[in-house]
Amino acid sequence: MISLDVVVLLYLIASVCFIQSLKGLSHPTTSILGNTFGMAGMGIAIATTAALIWSQAGETAASGLGWVLLGLLIGGSIGALMAKRVEMTKMPELVAFMHSMIGLAAVAIAIAIVAEPTAFGIVDGQGAIPVGNRVELFLGSAIGAITFSGSVIAFGKLSGRYKFRLFQGAPILFPGQHYLNLLLALVMIGLGAWFAVTQAWAPFALLTALAFILGVLIIIPIGGADMPVVVSMLNSYSGWAAAGIGFSLGNPMLIVAGSLVGSSGAILSYIMCKAMNRSFFNVILGGFGNTASSADSGAGAQQRNVKSGSPDDAAFLLGNAESVIIVPGYGLAVARAQHALKELTEKLAEQGVDVKYAIHPVAGRMPGHMNVLLAEAEVSYEQVFEMDEINGEFSQADVVLVLGANDVVNPAAKNDPASPIAGMPILEAYKARAVIVNKRSMASGYAGLDNELFYMDKTMMVFGDAKKVIEDMLKAA
């Protein structure tokens, strides 16, 4: 038998581990320790919950725990295999997939509780679910359903492999879109109140179905350029869904863990919004990121002249510079060129060149994507700088090397008030003495905008796969 005092103490230890995990994950140098704390906390929480169930149900819980352990084994094996095989470019899709599973789990648990409340010990003297628990179930199921369907759409938009319109990177807009979302939300609240009063299946099932629909509707108007914010937003939603179910189950550990994920995801969403000059409330409501004309603004890119060069030309500029700032983008990740880039920067450093990396908060497809990419190549953390730390140094840099980045270095954010990204903080690469941009083609970035940086006299375009180009530069350096 395990006493409730011991359970509370172990849950407290697990909670402290989760808090330390979040603290550790806030910086690359402590991220490994943060992950270790997170795994330790989850292990303690699972073991404590299993011991608590066993002590309360005795041998009758044996078969149930057997199924739980089997599920953990199967799910854990699948998760470990996916994590091991996933490419760096597919990491955002994996995160979106995990968010969808958390949301679906919340919905499944809510349905199970409504169907068999006595099995969870959630009944009053009359054998009904208490009103407070009904409200919690309504919220947990609704948020979980929104998280699931929204994450599925985000997964499709991030992958770019599906031709189905809902999964395209371009925003889907139609008249009265926000009013429809508002109407669905109000209807769901009404159905939730009906369920809280009557405990009837009909309003619960209907509000859950509407939540699945609302999850789709709040994500489809969001363009591909804003997907980093969507990822962090859905992360927050998944946490609140878990917390809501934790209240229903009376499990303090689930409440704490869900609240930590929900609040940290909300804070991250706010940081991402500031980095993209977006409204935080518009993100929550799913209405940002998208002028219909933005996708057409890069149509004339192929008709304008640019100054292009070879990898040898780029290597000459880099080798004769005193200071170089590298701006990595999604194209670098697609080409898996981070290791070749590390070799190039080491060779430049041997020649006396001061090399730094500049990271935009929303570079790539999810927050921290570029930091993880560089960490995989064992780039020194002392060389990696966030936007606010390094923006003041671009005007003194001899050369800026932009690798597969586009929107995060677009001067239109600073110079064109009519641009869809006007006001968005950018890496000010255009201030450097010379700029080298590596891209496969002149295609626009995820925001669908032409980039004036590419047409400046100081800019030299080097076309080709990032890994091949960097390897050729390495040979010529």
Q: How confident is the model over 429-453, as pLDDT tens digits?
A: 999 999 999 998 887 776 667 899 9
Indicate whether 446 and 346 sit together in one domain: yes
Predicted pLDDT of residue 282:
64
Indicate whether 402 and 443 sit together in one domain: yes
**Cα dihedral sign, 44-46-52-55:** negative
Indicate whether 326 and 392 sit together in one domain: yes
362 exposure class (CB count in 10 Å sphere: 0-12, 13-18, 19+): buried
Mean pLDDT of the chain: 86
Indicate whether 57 and 98 sit together in one domain: no
Domain boundary among 273, 290, 307: 290
Q: Which of 398, 318, 391 is nearest to 360 (CA)?
A: 391
Residues with Cβ within 8 Å of 225's Cβ and at least 6 positions away in sequence, in order, are: 289, 407, 421, 445, 446, 447, 448
| pLDDT tens, position by position, 147-199 | 999 999 888 887 767 777 777 767 788 888 888 999 999 999 999 999 999 99
Indicate whether 44 and 81 sit together in one domain: yes
Indicate whether 365 and 454 sit together in one domain: yes
User: What pTM value is reported for the model?
Assistant: 0.78
Report residue 25's pLDDT band, with 50, 70 and 90 as the boundaries. Answer: confident
| pLDDT tens, position by position, 386-409 | 998 999 999 999 999 999 888 889
Best-predicted range by mean pLDDT (3-7, 227-231, 248-252, 438-442): 438-442
Output b/e per residue, 363-388; b: 16+ Cβ within 10 A. Answer: bbbbbbbbbbbbbebebeeeebbebe
Domain boundary among 59, 85, 111: 85
Indicate whether 14 and 54 sit together in one domain: yes
| pLDDT tens, position by position, 414-428 | 888 888 778 888 999
| pLDDT tens, position by position, 44-54 | 998 898 888 77
Indicate whether 277 and 307 sit together in one domain: no
312 is catalytic: no
| pLDDT tens, position by position, 234-281 | 889 899 998 988 888 888 888 999 999 999 888 888 877 777 776 766
Token output for 159? 């992958």
Which of 5, 226, 313, 407 is the catalytic position?
407
Indicate whether 276 and 322 sit together in one domain: no
Least confident of 17-26, 61-70, 212-221: 61-70
Predicted pLDDT of residue 358:
95
Q: Which of 392, 168, 393, 403 is nearest to 290 (CA)?
A: 168
Q: Which of 154, 466, 225, 445 is nearest to 333 (CA)?
A: 466
Q: For 59-65, what is the mean pLDDT?
A: 64
Phi, psi of 145 (to 5 degrees): -65, -40
Indicate whether 14 and 162 sit together in one domain: no
Residues with Cβ within 8 Å of 322's Cβ and at least 6 positions away in sequence, in order, are: 352, 353, 354, 398
Indicate whether 45 and 104 sit together in one domain: no
CATH number of the domain to which 465 belongs: 3.40.50.1220
Instruction: Provide the domain limits for residue 13.
Output: 1-85
Domain boundary among 268, 290, 312: 290
Report how far residue 453's alpha carbon sits from residue 328's, in angstroms, rounded to the nearest whole number.
Answer: 15
3-state secondary structure string across the chain? CCCHHHHHHHHHHHHHHHHHHHHHCCCHHHHHHHHHHHHHHHHHHHHHHHHHHHHHHHHHHHHHHHHHHHHHHHHHHHHHHHHHHCCHHHHHHHHHHHHHHHHHHHHHHHHHHHHCHHHHCCCCCCCCCCHHHHHHHHHHHHHHHHHHHHHHHHHHHHHCCCCCHHHCCCCCCCCCHHHHHHHHHHHHHHHHHHHHHHCCHHHHHHHHHHHHHHHHHHHCCCCHHHHHHHHHHHHHHHHHHHHHHHHHHCCHHHHHHHHHHHHHHHHHHHHHHHHHCCCHHHHHHCCCCCCCCHHHCCCCHHHCCCCECCHHHHHHHHHCCCEEEEEECHHHHHHCCHHHHHHHHHHHHHCCCEEEEEECCCCCCCCCHHHHHHHHCCCCHHHEEEHHHHHHHHHHCCEEEEECCCHHHCCHHHHCCCCCCCCCCCCCHHHCCEEEEEECCCCCCCCCCCCHHHHCCCEEEEECCHHHHHHHHHHHC
Indicate whether 134 and 268 sit together in one domain: yes
434 strand-pairing partners: 399
Q: How many domains does the chain have?
A: 3
Least confident of 107-121, 219-233, 325-339: 219-233
Report how far residue 179's alpha carbon sits from residue 316's, in angstroms, rounded to the nearest whole number.
Answer: 57
